[in-house]
Amino acid sequence: MPPSPLPKEVSIIIPTYKEVLNFPQLTAQIDQSLRDANIKYEVIFVDDDSRDGSIEQIDNLITKFNYPLKIIVRTTERGLSSAVLRGFQEAKYETLLVMDADLQHNPIYIPSLVLPIINGNADFSVGSRHTHGGGIEDWPIHRKLISWGATFIARPLIPCTDPMSGFFALSKETLNRAKVLNPLGYKIGLELMVRCDVQNINEVPIIFKDRQLGESKLNLRTNALYLLHVSQLYIDCKPHFVFIFFLCLFILSFFIGKKVLFYHNNHNNNNNANGNIGNNLNAFGLNQDISSNGVNIATMPYVGDDDDDDGKGGNAKVEFIAKDVNRNSNNNNNNGVKKKAKKID
């Protein structure tokens, strides 16, 4: 039996850090979007002690426009994920929505995200950049590559085209399914989808734009936290994937090691073969040298007749010049070593 529809009310959670410049435009767009959809709302800003005038700006907006706003300033905690969970604790409505304060999440999509939750048609609703009709504008290529790689890593965890999205909605009932939540890093949406065991995901195509004001929080540390976060989710919720991964890694290592060992043994055998040739030459009284062009030259005394034409007889010597025969020659010359002898005065 599908769940009963919820009241048309939503608590919007917005984690912030030094985003005060975006507050006037953001709150005006939220108010316009939800008034048009006839949805009652509240906005809860959870600020990590920005000290940039955020408190004063929120007070000013409440006084001037009577927006239903609230700000919580945390002085002992840091991090987007834990800020979102703190906002959930303060929310008074059953439907929850999370979005960023940097204007990359357009408030016009809020009704499309929350209405399937309110009507009981979805467990979880995601603003997706990768579903049909969605997209990304004004992003440099390196940001797109990072996003693609992070999405690829997370896809086995949840059947969602954009598990990295920070623009999502759920009900408190879905939230309470999670036995434990680990607010590590910035991808709290992925954490909730996996640990709340959501089955029915509604994906809303969104156009994601780069921020206009403020500074991006993406850095090497956030990327490292993401990898740690995803690893923990695999270990806790998908241990068979971990087993398969390490099994494949072991098999790959085995074959690479086998190839390396084969090459090493082959190299040693070649060296031993060259050493045996030298020993055989020495056994016949030959002295082996390497000429400047890499040709093996074996020399030995030559005993000639005393009445040799040059009259020098035994003082002559013979050089045996050994050359490898090209085994691939078209006329299939003799394999092994050619020897050419000449008499030297």
**pLDDT (mean) for 326-340:** 46
Q: What is the pLDDT of residues 184-211, one digit of tens each?
A: 777 899 999 999 989 899 999 999 887 6
Residues 210 and 278 in one domain: no
Find the CATH number of the domain harbouring 202: 3.90.550.10
End-to-end CA distance of the chain: 111
Residues 230 and 250 in one domain: no
In a domain? residue 2: no
Residues 193 and 135 in one domain: yes
Neighbours of 154 (CB within 10 A): 22
**Structural contact between residues 172 and 249, judged by C-beta atoms closer than 8 angstroms:** no
In a domain? residue 4: no
Residues 23 and 91 in one domain: yes
Residues 87 and 135 in one domain: yes
Between these two residues, 309 and 197, which has the higher pLDDT value?
A: 197
Between these two residues, 331 and 59, which has the higher pLDDT value?
A: 59
Residues 229 and 247 in one domain: no
**pLDDT (mean) for 35-39:** 97
Query: How many domains, in total, are found in the chain?
Result: 3
In a domain? residue 23: yes
In a domain? residue 18: yes
| pTM, rounded to two decimals | 0.68
Residues 276 and 335 in one domain: no
In a domain? residue 1: no
Phi then psi for residue 38, to 5 deg, are: 60, 45
Boundary of a domain, candidates 237, 252, 269: 237
**Which single residue is written with the structure tokens 């020495």?**
282
Residues 23 and 53 in one domain: yes
Q: Is pLDDT of 26 > 70?
A: yes
**pLDDT (mean) for 243-272:** 63
Boundary of a domain, candidates 218, 237, 256: 237
**Structural contact between residues 174 and 183, judged by C-beta atoms closer than 8 angstroms:** no
Residues 68 and 209 in one domain: yes
Residues 29 and 108 in one domain: yes
Task: Tell me which range, 1-15, 54-68, 265-279, is most confidently predicted by mean pLDDT.
Answer: 54-68
Domain of residue 311: give its range.
Answer: 285-345
Identity (one letter) of the amino acid at 128? S
Boundary of a domain, candidates 264, 283, 302: 283
Model confidence at 298, pLDDT cuts 50, 70, 90, reads: very low
**Structural contact between residues 97 and 11, judged by C-beta atoms closer than 8 angstroms:** yes
Residues 308 and 211 in one domain: no
Burial status of residue 125 (CB atoms within 10 A of its CB: 0-12, 13-18, 19 or more): buried
Residues 154 and 69 in one domain: yes
